Amino acid sequence: MARLILRRLLRAVAALLVVTAVVFTLLHVSGDPAYILLTPEATAEDRATFRSQYGLDRPLWVQYTRYLGRLTQGDFGQSLSFRIPAASVALERLPATLELTLAAMVLAVLVSIPAAVLAAVRRGTLFDRVLMALTLVGQTVPTFWLGMVMILLLAVRFHLFPASGRGSWLHLVMPATALALWLTALLARVTRSEMIEALEQDYVRTARAKGLAERGIAARHALKNALLPIITVMGLQFGGLLGGAVMTETVFAWPGVGTMIFDAILKKDFPVVLAGVVIVAVGFIIVNLLLDLLYTVLDPRLRRA
Amino acid sequence: MVGPGERGEPAGVLMATAPRASGSPQAAGASTSAVEPAAPARPVARGGLAGLAGAGLVILVVALLVAAFADFIAPRGYDDQDLAFALQPPAWAGGTWANPLGTDPLGRDVLSRVIYGARTSLLLALGSVLLAAAVGVTLGLVSGWAGGRVDAVVMSAVEAQLSLPYLLFAIAFMALLGSSITNLVIVLVLRSWVVYAQLVRVSVLSMKTREFVTVAVALGARGSRILFRHIAPNVIAPALVVSSFQLAELIIVESSLGFLGLGVQPPTPSWGSMLSQGREYLGSAWWLVTFPGLAIIVTVLGANLFGDALRDALDPRLRNRSRGARGARGRFRRTLKEIS
């Protein structure tokens, strides 16, 4: 058990190193700061002084370790447009993104699992077929397009919800729904097929033979066993959800990390873009670590592995 | 996943999940063990399923034809501006048949731009899928066959990439390195090669111990010959299925980047960049976001339908999973397979 946790932790650390290395490489490849930040009139000597001043003449790996060192202190550089540390710009926006992502996740789970369990129990009925057709479409519609159509219909045409911004729970309804759609569709499909398989297992037959109520069997016996793969899928899709959150926020002007990244792209404020990317990536890694650990709690068989 | 009890499945109920996999550390780890042996194949056509595959195929072919012959089909050029006719609504909503789907703020014909957009979006997605398949299949073949250090290197590259949230990485990449076509293709290929590499590697691992390989070895065939003559043909079917899903995925990725202004640059139309421009007129000109969006949805749906049906027809392994593997890990593997 301890070894397993240790291994997961190591993997998370490795993932962090990958994220930072990629970001560092991108920064490095994107251009020589001595040309980007200094005026065109600067002499070659000026540029050389600038490089040595910021350690840009050192070997790459030295620069990378320094960069890592700065990151661990929360130093992502200065925002070019706000003149304050990029990290504080990004962190300020984090709660809004978390709120949206969690709301979407809860919504997706609350809708998809009961619907899919019902579809699995009543396999082949009209309800089942309609649900599966809906999930097929749900996985096809791009999140950001759905968001725009919702604004068009529900905000502009019928004035049901505010079109953008964050505030009351009414503001949350449209972005969360738009973001939740494809996860709902995916979870519904996975849950249904896992349930169908679970319902054919020997323990379900035993439970039926014992005379237990069908409803109890589905909820207590089958669903419990179908849960693990469902959680796996949720974990795998969390990165997609974060990417979707970036798109959704942009559409609804939701003041989260995604909108910030989008605005920063427009202003070419790269330190802020990277701070946003790294912070969200760290969140992704942490969630995956927690999910990994959650499996071992849910499935004792994994503890021995 | 189509469980063992799926025989009589009504038409229109496709169990397989469309791909939306984005990275996670679990993905690479879970694919290290071999695929289950193939179950006996069922008849390919299963009524409704074949019908849906047909529908998906028709959509894809039509979309490709539109993209290929955009010059002949489109009523106008994609950058023919006419400010006197800016923001005309579609023909049935008060506009004229001169611009059936209306015009944009520069008076350009939306229908023509959607048609030319098909060229950009599909060509990029398709080209990237092919490139990713070439890279991924080759690396997967070599990695699975060679094992050892080669395998470790390839697989750690896969795992490293899957530990990043892809879209964010793509955004950072495009924002920093600039939105050129080359960079766009690189980003799209990076999304997909992993899927091919994992899939092919696992297939090779499972085939390495099969009789036909053992026989080939015993007959003195060289490694490269066995790999490319005997093993490679067997991974074509699953790779084809993956390609269909990846095409759908890359169309969405490309349009997402385009929407953020990081894709193809104006005046060249792509569906994503059209949505990005239309967004500013959301309140006044609904047709600017509606039609490119529908084009994306229909094409992606076509690719997903085709992939779903193709998988069921070509690869019974993925449909008919053995009842044997009951362990949690077996379950993980199956679930993973579904979403990749």
Between B328 and B247, the more confident residue is B247
What's the mean pLDDT in B122-136?
94
pLDDT at B28 over 50: no
pLDDT at B300 over 70: yes
Determine which of A49-53, A200-204, B209-213 has the lowest per-residue pLDDT on average. A49-53
Question: String of b and e for A221-256 (b: at least 16 CB within 10 Å)?
Answer: bbbebbbbbbbbbbbbbbbbbbbbbbbbbbbbbbbb
Cis peptide before B267 (omega within 30 of 0): yes
Token pair belonging to B55:
């529908």
What pLDDT, on the 0 to 100 scale, is given for residue A265? 77
What's the mean pLDDT in B326-337?
41
Residues 6+ apart with CB under 8 A from A201: A222, A225
Q: At what angle do helices B110-146 and B48-68 cross, to 10 degrees?
A: 120
Residues 6+ apart with CB under 8 A from A296: A1, A4, A5, A302, A303
CA A106 to chain centre: 13
- Least Cα separation, residue B244 to chain A (angstroms): 13
Give the A:B interface size as CB pairs under 8 Å.
225
pLDDT at A283 over 70: yes
Render pLDDT for A105-143 as a digit per residue (tens, 0 to 9). 999 999 999 999 888 888 888 888 888 888 888 888 988
Looking at the partner chain, which of A149, A232, A270 has a beta carbon nearest the beta carbon of B26?
Answer: A232
Query: Does residue B184 belong to the interface with chain A, where contact is any CB pair within 8 Å?
Result: no
Determine which of A192-201, A205-214, B30-39, B158-167 has the lowest per-residue pLDDT on average. B30-39
| Alpha helices, H only, A214-269 | 214-216, 223-252, 257-267
Token pair belonging to B52:
């849906």
- Least Cα separation, residue A35 to chain B (angstroms): 15
Query: Contact A192/B177, CB-based, under 8 Å?
Result: no
Query: Does residue A269 belong to the interface with chain B, where contact is any CB pair within 8 Å?
Result: no
What pLDDT, on the 0 to 100 scale, is given for residue A244? 85
Half-sphere exposure of B84 (CA within 13 A, CB side): 0
Looking at the partner chain, which of A15, A149, A244 has a beta carbon nearest the beta carbon of B25?
Answer: A15
Q: In angstroms, rounded to a whole number, what is the distance separating the alpha carbons of residues B270 and B275?
A: 9
Query: Contact A148/B279, CB-based, under 8 Å?
Result: yes
What pLDDT, on the 0 to 100 scale, is given for residue B188? 94
pLDDT at B332 over 60: no
- Least Cα separation, residue B290 to chain A (angstroms): 7
Find, in chain B, the residue whose alpha carbon is nearest to that of A129. B13
What pLDDT, on the 0 to 100 scale, is given for residue A35? 66
pLDDT at A254 over 80: yes
Contacting B residues, span 228-257, partner chain A, CB-CB under 8 Å: 248, 252, 255-256
Q: In angstroms, rounded to a whole number, what is the distance separating the alpha carbons of residues B277 and B106?
A: 11
Q: What is the mean pLDDT of chain B?
A: 75
What pLDDT, on the 0 to 100 scale, is given for residue B238? 83
What pLDDT, on the 0 to 100 scale, is given for residue A176? 92
What's the mean pLDDT in B242-269?
89
What pLDDT, on the 0 to 100 scale, is given for residue B193? 93
What is the percentage of chain A residues whose pLDDT exceeds 70? 94
How far, CA to CA in Å, does A40 sit from each of A36, A37, A43, A136, A305? 9, 9, 8, 55, 60
Query: Contact A124/B9, CB-based, under 8 Å?
Result: yes
- pTM, to two decimals: 0.80
Q: In angstroms, rounded to a whole number, what is the distance separating the alpha carbons of residues B280 and A149?
A: 13
Domains and CATH numbers, chain A: 2-71 (no CATH), 93-304 (1.10.3720.10)
Cα torsion B60, B64, B65, B70: sign: positive
Query: Contact B328/A243, CB-based, under 8 Å?
Result: no
Q: In angstroms, rounded to a whole number, what is the distance separating the alpha carbons of residues B185 and B187?
A: 5
What pLDDT, on the 0 to 100 scale, is given for residue B128? 95
Q: In angstroms, rounded to a whole number, what is the distance separating the alpha carbons of residues B275 and B10?
A: 37
How far, CA to CA in Å, does B307 sit from each of A254, B134, B215, B239? 35, 19, 33, 10
Query: Does residue B168 belong to the interface with chain A, where contact is any CB pair within 8 Å?
Result: yes
Q: In angstroms, rounded to a whole number, what is the distance separating the alpha carbons of residues B277 and B44?
A: 44
B37: DSSP letter? P
What pLDDT, on the 0 to 100 scale, is given for residue A303? 63
pLDDT at A194 over 60: yes
Looking at the partner chain, which of B172, B262, B301 has a beta carbon nearest the beta carbon of A274?
Answer: B172
Token pair belonging to B97:
């048949």
What pLDDT, on the 0 to 100 scale, is given for residue B297? 92
What pLDDT, on the 0 to 100 scale, is given for residue A34? 64
Looking at the partner chain, which of B4, B14, B26 has a beta carbon nearest the beta carbon of A136?
Answer: B14
What's the mean pLDDT in A17-37?
74
Q: In angstroms, rounded to a whole number, what is the distance separating the alpha carbons of residues A269 and A21?
A: 20
Q: What is the mean pLDDT of chain A?
A: 81
Cα torsion A296, A297, A298, A299: sign: positive
Query: Contact B248/A140, CB-based, under 8 Å?
Result: yes
Query: Does residue B309 belong to the interface with chain A, where contact is any CB pair within 8 Å?
Result: no
Find, in chain A, the residue whose alpha carbon is nearest to that of B253. A142
The CA-based dihedral angle spanning residues A26, A32, A37, A38, taken in that order and rounded to the nearest 10 degrees: 180
For residue B103, report the phi and psi dihedrals to the nearest 5 degrees.
-130, 165
Residues 6+ apart with CB under 8 A from B195: B19, B21, B132, B136, B242, B246, B340
- Least Cα separation, residue B260 to chain A (angstroms): 7
Q: In angstroms, rounded to a whole number, what is the distance separating the alpha carbons of residues B287 and A3?
A: 57
What pLDDT, on the 0 to 100 scale, is given for residue A167? 76
pLDDT band at B11 (very low <50, low <70, confident <90, very high): very low
